[in-house]
Amino acid sequence: MTAITSTRTALPARHGLRDAVGAGVILAVGIGCHYLFPNSLSFLTMILSVSLLVMSLDLVTGVSGVATLGHAVLYGAGAYAAGIASVNGISDPLLLLLIGSLAGLLAGIVSGALILKGHGLPQLVISIALVQLGYEGVNKASAVTGGSDGLAGLSIGPLFGLYQFDLWGRTAFWLALAIVVVVAVLLRILARSPFGMLCKGIRQDPVRVRAMGASSYVTLLKMYAISGVVAGLGGALQAVSTQVVGLDSITFTASAEALVMLIVGGTGTIFGALLGTFVFMWFEHAVSAANPFHWLILVGILLIVVVLFAPRGIYGLGMRLFERKDG
């Protein structure tokens, strides 16, 4: 009977409750980490920035079924736009985040328009080509981007004109936590909306969606644009909080890692993307500190265990256990 009860979740009250619980958990974990690991705030802020990239990837891959190994191009667009703007005299952090989001939006529309022309493996190849082109472009345009040295020493003004970005990274951490909570809940709402349903439909059967009279290309392009805003915001957040922008933000490796984090956490739920980022980066951090020689082996083992025993990711596994208890 668990099979039937687990399908009876389509109630709005339950959705709202889950969002509220999820937001509460994120805040509680964030506040807990702030007091338990006061010396790791910049690392925690990094996790939060990357989680925006992974949530953004969840929109196009987990929700809409577009295969991509080049999503960091959107994150990099946001990071470099904010970095370049900062070097050229803009210091207001919120304005820099806005600039990064807009750059992400633009990059999302352009890369979406190209990626969505392909399907399956060709789609994957286009996405890899885009991130490689982005990387090379940024590398070559060293006059603006700093090339392989990156942009360093960005001067960021105080948040709301009040809170300085201090050495301990407190301001950056609270800003990042607030952004992540708000974005996660908004994206959950988006995924449930008629538009989100249409994207989920396209993932499962684009022919059926077209037979309903909806254009899959236009719908997915819109989703790509939104995804670009979120990833660009993440990149800009990283630029603002670390005051450094480097080529590593726009690599194929970063894109592939984002996909791994998404799968570890669970696709299509947004919260899963966040959880996956947290677990993966934390595990990598802890294991590489404990065993600098063999840590990659342990990371590999973690991935295999998750994929074998929790094919729907850690979040999917958790929800299943929760619902079983519930029913």
Partner 1 sequence: MDTLLEVRNLTMNFGGLKVTDDVSLTLTKGCRTALIGPNGAGKTTLINLFTGAYRPRAGTIRLMGRDITGTKEVERVRLGLVRSFQITRLFADMSVVDHVALAILQRDGRSSGMIRSYHGMPEVVEEAMDALRRLRLDGLAERVVSRIAYGQQRLLEIAIALILKPKVLLLDEPAAGIPSTDIDRVMTALDDLPADLAVLLIDHDMDLIRKFARDVIVMNAGAVIFRGRPDQLAGDPTVRSAYLGEEA
CB of 157 to partner 1, least distance (A): 33
CA neighbours closer than 13 Å in the CB half-sphere of residue 68 = 36
Q: Quick one: tokens of 141?
A: 């345009």
Task: Identify which of 29, 98, 2 has the alpha carbon closest to the alpha carbon of residue 271.
Answer: 29
CA distances from 271 to 105, 157, 158, 321 (A): 22, 31, 30, 16
User: Is 15 one of the binding residues for partner 1 (CB under 8 A)?
Assistant: yes
* 320 near partner 1 (CB under 8 A): no
From 4, 121, 289, 308, residue interacting with partner 1 (rule: CB under 8 A): 4
- Minimum CB–partner distance for residue 223 and partner 1 (Å): 10
Range list of β-strands (E), 149-255: 151-152, 244-245
Q: Are the beta carbons of 224 and 109 closer than 8 angstroms?
A: yes
- Smaller CB separation from partner 1, 170 or 192: 192
The verdict on 8 binding partner 1 (CB under 8 A) reads yes
CB nearer to partner 1: give 205 or 248: 205
- Contacting residue, 18, 34, 170, 222, with partner 1 by CB under 8 A: 222
Q: Where are the beta strands (DSSP E) in the chain?
A: 151-152, 244-245
Question: Scanning residues 133 to 192, which ones bind partner 1 (CB under 8 A)?
Answer: 189-190, 192
Whether 276 and 264 have beta carbons less than 8 Å apart is answered as: yes
Closest CA to 254 of 104, 94, 74, 123: 74
Answer yes or no whether residue 10 interacts with partner 1 by CB under 8 A.
Answer: yes
Q: Does 1 bind partner 1 (CB under 8 A)?
A: no
Q: How far from the centroid of its chain's Cα atoms is residue 307's Cα?
A: 20
- By CB under 8 A, tell whether 228 contacts partner 1: no
Please identify which residue in 198, 220, 231, 236 interacts with partner 1, judged by CB under 8 A.
Answer: 198
Among the listed residues 1, 88, 167, 204, the single contact to partner 1 using CB under 8 A: 204
- Asked if residues 327 and 5 have their Cβ atoms less than 8 Å apart, the reply is yes
Under the binding rule (CB under 8 A), the answer on residue 195 touching partner 1 is: yes
Q: How far is the CB of 230 from partner 1 (least distance, A)?
A: 13
Minimum distance between the CB of residue 299 and partner 1, rounded to whole angstroms? 30
Cβ neighbour number for residue 292 with a 10 Å cutoff: 8
Interacting residue ranges for partner 1, rule: CB under 8 A: 3-4, 7-8, 10-12, 15, 189-190, 192-198, 200-201, 204-205, 207-208, 210-215, 219, 222
